[in-house]
Amino acid sequence: MARRLNPSAFNAWVYDHIDDYSHPLEVYYGGAGSGKSYGAMQKIILKALNARRKVLVVRKVGATLRDSVFQLALDLLRDAGIWRGCEVSRADMRIALPNGSLFVFKGLDDREKIKSITGITDMVLEEATELSEDDFTQLRLRLRPPEPDPQIYIMFNPVSKANWVYGYFFAHTPPAGTKIVQTTYKDNRFLPAEYAATLEELAARNPAYYRIYALGEFATLDKLVYPHAEKRLISAEETAGKKFWVGLDFGYVNDPSAIVWGYYDESDRTIYVTGEYVKTGMLNDEIAATIRQLGLQKEIVVADSAEQKSIEELRRAGITRIRPSKKGPDSVKHGVQWIGQCRLVVDERCIHTIEETENYTWRKDKKTGEYLNDPEDSFNHCLDAMRYGLQSVAGERRIRTMSKSILGL
């Protein structure tokens, strides 16, 4: 390698293979926060600095790339002092390096655009379990460069044995030339201690999630989506002075409308559900009156974005801080995953929410009999309202620990 690298900028398992490009497929899987995304981006940026490459970085939804690996690539380049020579288009999520190497970040939701990109020498597939096997096959076909050492880096958490990645890389011998690297938070010496602690807490909180996100192993999901829900009486003293999240799921004749609220304790990542109001046949003015009677009209209310018209009616009826839930492919999966990693305490008087937590299950894959990380669409009125409501507190909190010269240059 032409450049002299500083090993202290890397996790050992990244540094040890930093200039080995001999495997066409490199699979980085394991627990959360192990440094997979970081390591893969460090490696691919160094590869592109050493030779002229055209790198396509893909995730299922383009928007989720912007805050994650696109930003990470910019940070890495800035920190390495190469930033000035780069041409960056934030709008297109493109970065041209001084030597002419090009990084293009694209969501699969931009399929047509991906088709028009030619001469790709390398690919990085973030959260590959969000893709389908067919997506992967199609993407692989895009990699036919005249350049040497074409590679695909694939990253994911082992979310379900029913996911295509299990069949592809683990159930049988993986395709020739595949390197598989399994890591956990213990392999990431840069991880903030507090993040490691939250992963360790999963052992008691949610055993299946513990195996997946802490131990980085394929686990059979529990039948229930929220097996970790605890019920107890939450006293008025506990709730006093708390900032409430409020969620609203619309129903009418067959389905009830559900208003669910509570608070969130960031210090130990605990969700408290303290109240629910569930009723069929409610028109929007009745919903607005109910929110007022419950004394929740001053709170941010996050409501199902499928009903924009109802949301506007409620706003006009005085629920001024109402806003639509974030929707999009995989928003349910991301939401339930976030909730699954938190402690969940439901007041024992919230009988509908409790009934739903006892019946809200993962879908089952017919072929393998394994649970998919995709919930069934039933027993989810209160739980959807809760998921929406929590969007006002959860945000996309990323962990960042910027050390100097993280590219090791």
Ligand X SMILES: Nc1ncnc2c1ncn2[C@@H]1O[C@H](COP(=O)(O)OP(=O)(O)OP(=O)(O)O)[C@@H](O)[C@H]1O
User: Which residue ranges make up the site for ligand X (CB under 6 A)?
Assistant: 9-11, 32-38, 157, 188, 190-191, 399-401, 403, 406
Question: Would you say 352 and 380 are in contact if contact means Cβ atoms under 8 Å apart?
Answer: no
Smallest distance, Å, CB 373 to Mg ion? 16
Of all residues in the shown chain, the one whose CB is closest to Mg ion is 37
Q: Which is nearer to ligand X, 34 or 361 (CB)?
A: 34
Q: Which is nearer to ligand X, 14 or 301 (CB)?
A: 14
Asked if 310 touches Mg ion (CB under 5 A), the answer is no
Q: CA 263 to CA 159: how far, in whole Å?
A: 28
Smallest distance, Å, CB 212 to Mg ion? 14
Q: Residue 13: name its binding partner from Mg ion, ligand X, none (Cβ under 5 to 8 Å by kind).
A: none
Q: Which is nearer to ligand X, 205 or 231 (CB)?
A: 205
- Residue whose entry in the numeric block shows the structure tokens 């790339």: 65
Query: Which segment (30-38, 53-61, 79-87, 310-318) binds Mg ion by CB under 5 A?
Result: 30-38
Among 37, 206, 380, 392, binds Mg ion (CB under 5 A): 37
Smallest distance, Å, CB 37 to Mg ion? 3
Q: Residue 399: name its binding partner from Mg ion, ligand X, none (Cβ under 5 to 8 Å by kind).
A: ligand X
Looking at residues 172 to 231 of the shown chain, list those that interact with Mg ion (rule: CB under 5 A): none
Q: Residue 188: name its binding partner from ligand X, Mg ion, none (Cβ under 5 to 8 Å by kind).
A: ligand X
Query: Which segment (36-44, 101-109, 174-182, 289-297) binds Mg ion by CB under 5 A?
Result: 36-44
Q: Which is nearer to ligand X, 10 or 388 (CB)?
A: 10
Q: Which is nearer to Mg ion, 153 or 388 (CB)?
A: 153
Please give the angle made by the CA atoms of 382, 32 and 189, to the nearest 5 degrees: 145
Q: How many residues contact Mg ion, by CB under 5 A?
A: 1
Smallest distance, Å, CB 16 to ligand X? 13
Q: Which is nearer to ligand X, 121 or 341 (CB)?
A: 341
Q: CA 86 to CA 95: how far, in whole Å?
A: 7
Smallest distance, Å, CB 359 to ligand X? 29
Smallest distance, Å, CB 296 to ligand X? 33
Q: Which is nearer to ligand X, 189 or 243 (CB)?
A: 189
Smallest distance, Å, CB 13 to ligand X? 11
Question: Would you say 244 and 229 are in contact if contact means Cβ atoms under 8 Å apart?
Answer: no
Q: Which is nearer to Mg ion, 37 or 380 (CB)?
A: 37
Q: Which is nearer to ligand X, 6 or 138 (CB)?
A: 6
Smallest distance, Å, CB 42 to Mg ion? 13
Query: Which segment (37-45, 52-60, 104-112, 234-242) binds Mg ion by CB under 5 A?
Result: 37-45
Smallest distance, Å, CB 325 to ligand X? 23
Task: Give the 3-state secondary structure of the chain.
Answer: CCCCCCHHHCCHHHHCCCCCCCCCEEEEEECCCCCHHHHHHHHHHHHHHHCCCEEEEEECCHHHHHHHHHHHHHHHHHHCCCHHHCEEECCCCEEECCCCCEEEEEEHHHHHHHHHCCCCCEEEECCHHHCCHHHHHHHHHCCCCCCCCCEEEEEECCCCCCCHHHHHHHHCCCCCCEEEEEECHHHCCCCCHHHHHHHHHHHHHCHHHHHHHHCCCCCCCCCECCCCCEEECCCHHHHCCCCCEEEEECCCCCCCEEEEEEEEEHHHCEEEEEEEEEECCCCHHHHHHHHHHCCCCCCCEEECCCCHHHHHHHHHCCCCCEEECCCCCCHHHHHHHHHHCCEEEEECCCHHHHHHHCCCEEEECCCCCCEEEEECCCCCHHHHHHHHHHHHHHCCCCCCCCCCCCCCC
Residue ranges binding Mg ion (CB under 5 A)? 37
